[in-house]
Structure 1
Amino acid sequence: MQHYYFSRHAKINWLTLDRFSNYSSEDLLNGAFSIHWESEGDHILEFRDQLEELSDEILEQRFSERIEFRVKDRKQHREEVDAGLFFNAPAAFADYGRWARNLTWTIEQCIALSMGRSPDVLSLDALRSAGSEALHSDFGREYIGRLEIAWNWISIGQLAETATPTEYLVWLNQLHLDFPPGLIQALEAFGNEIIDWKAQSESLTSQVEQLREEMSTLFQENQNWAVAYENLQTTSGGLIEELKERLGQAELALKVSGLDEVSNEEGDSPDPRSLKSLHKIVYAMAVKKYHFDATQDEWPAVTKILNDLELAGLQMSRKALRGHLKISAETAVKELGK
């Protein structure tokens, strides 16, 4: 990592102090030191001159290496000091089963338990009483930092000073503040579920609103389909009636056309009674001589009659003949049915 905020001169000063002073890693990393130029001997000045001759890249490399060494040294020193502090004593570690039986915790108890310590041992007062080593330790700063976050939430009414263990663990989860798995296991052993009911309620409310919107959309679509179906029925009903009317007109026109053709071929229409008698005679002759059967789909008798008419030098269309035979058959059926 490039230390751009350090000038070249500052890096040389720091490396000189790192080499020849008795400052601790803590002091050197925090900048808690002073430089007495007049007290530097020849060997120190010679070391400075050697650093001055280095390129910027090599000077930066040496500076970074010593910074890294001092960071590790400070960490090791802090761990050695922390190991002897009160919150790392064997009796300081929490008995989760005991605290899981409580219906409520205070916020300080919650923070202590979240860091694996017994609230009987770790508290803000105990930390202050232990002195600066405890207060400025990584563990001490973490404890105070969590308390400050908690008091901030409490100050605006988003967290209670006393709450159920479940409520506090949900809050810790929400803020991504870790805590020992054993704490959850102890709570669950006594039937506590770590559920964020507020989040659950908000989620369910959101789902209900979404379902309402979907139902409203479906209802509107259903109404649209109902209107479309009604319009289709109205339109199709009108079309069917129109088609029926046209079909009736076509059938009527066809009948009139057939009768006109028969009438045109035979001249003026005879008396109805005479025509009826003639139809009976035609039917009888067609049945006896040509084996005419009006119930069949095909009428072979038509071809035979047309052939005989042609032999006799007479002309008649197949359609006209079929019309006469049909009328003759209908007349005979009515007569026979009396």
Structure 2
Amino acid sequence: MEALDGDRLFTDADTELERDFWLKKPRWTLEQAIAISFGRDPRYVNWTTVEPYASSSNHAYEYYKRRLIVLDTHAEGYLPDPIPSAEFIRWTLRINLHCDVGEYELYGHAPPSWPPSVPMQSTPTARPDALQTDPKLTDLLRQTQAECARLEARVQQLEQELELAEEQRVMKAPERSALTMLVYAMARGLYGYDPSRLKGDATSKILRALDRFDLSLDEKTIRKYLRQAHNEVQKLKPRENQD
């Protein structure tokens, strides 16, 4: 393939992503993933071919910025290399980074449209080129974007940890039902609990039993959970035939 300039690397049909090949791969290297996120073939669009145009082409400059975000996030330990293809796509969605490949495409659906609704300019705009005139601004942009990506990844990690903790905290329904039946049977069989009586000596017996093992509950709490156990057990009992 003939050598292409910075803009044509991102617009020429020869560099378009070969979806039938790349979207079937379970993992991509991060360098491959960056090119794929632009809908370009990593064999033709990569840092080696893009770098010479990073200060003269908006397409190449966008590639440069995205590459900094990806590599900085990898350095923080939040993006593995290589990375599962679906995981990379989900990451771009979480940080609101346009990706030409939708996650659903990995399962054979039609590709989303590209370019995005506000396309990149094919020629340099009048903005000062941060790569040439203000390296401090470029570095600040890189640090800010990397920090946003790092924080987003940390939020996701905390959400996953919270979800796991909640799953461990909340007892599954069958386990809860079994424990309820066990406690209810012991309360009735060992301590004489009678749900038809508003007050009885079962509560005081349970209090004394708790005290023997250095455990503490008040009478109100005991009565509350005994009533709840009774109500739940009634729901668990098989219904009589109505024939």
TM-score normalised over the length of structure 1: 0.34
Structure with higher helix content: 1
Larger radius of gyration, structure 1 or 2? 1
Per the normalisation by structure 2, the TM-score is: 0.45
